[in-house]
A = this chain, B = another copy of it.
Amino acid sequence: MNNTPAIILVHPQMGENIGAAARAMMNFGLRDLRLVAPRDGWPNQRAVDMSSGALDVMPPVQVYDTLAEALTGCTYVYATSARRRELNKPICTLKEAAISSLKHERSAFVFGPERTGLDNDDLALCHEMITVPTNPDFSSINLGQAVLLVTYEWFQNREEHGFQEPLERAPHEKLEEMFTRLEAELEAGHFFREEGLRPTMARNIRTMLMRAEFSAQEVSTFQGMISALIGNKTRKRT
Contacts and interface: CB of A to CB of B under 8 A. Distances in A.
Given A149-B148, A149-B152, A139 B27 contact: yes
Contacts of A27: 134-135, 138-141
Contact of A135 (B26, B139, B148): B26
A48 to B, nearest CB: 15
A23 B142 contact: yes
A156 to B, nearest CB: 7
Q: How many copies of this chain does one complex carry?
A: 2
Contacts of A155: 133-135
A52 interface: yes
A24 B145 contact: yes
Contacts of A1: none
Contacts of A148: 145, 148-149
A152 B149 CA distance: 8
A29 interface: yes
Nearest to A57: B138
Contacts of A141: 27
A52 B149 CA distance: 19
Interface of A: 20, 23-24, 26-29, 52-54, 57, 93, 95, 132-135, 137-142, 145, 148-149, 152, 155-156, 159
A98 to B, nearest CB: 12
Contacts of A133: 155-156, 159
Given A133-B159, A159-B133, A26 B152 contact: no
* Interface core residue of A26, A95, A148 (most chain B CB under 10 Å): A148
A137 B149 CA distance: 19
Contacts of A54: 138
A134 B23 CA distance: 12
A134 B52 contact: no
26 contacts: A20-B145, A23-B142, A24-B145, A26-B135, A26-B137, A26-B138, A27-B134, A27-B135, A27-B138, A27-B141, A28-B135, A52-B140, A52-B142, A53-B138, A54-B138, A57-B137, A57-B138, A93-B156, A95-B156, A132-B152, A133-B156, A133-B159, A135-B155, A145-B145, A145-B148, A148-B149
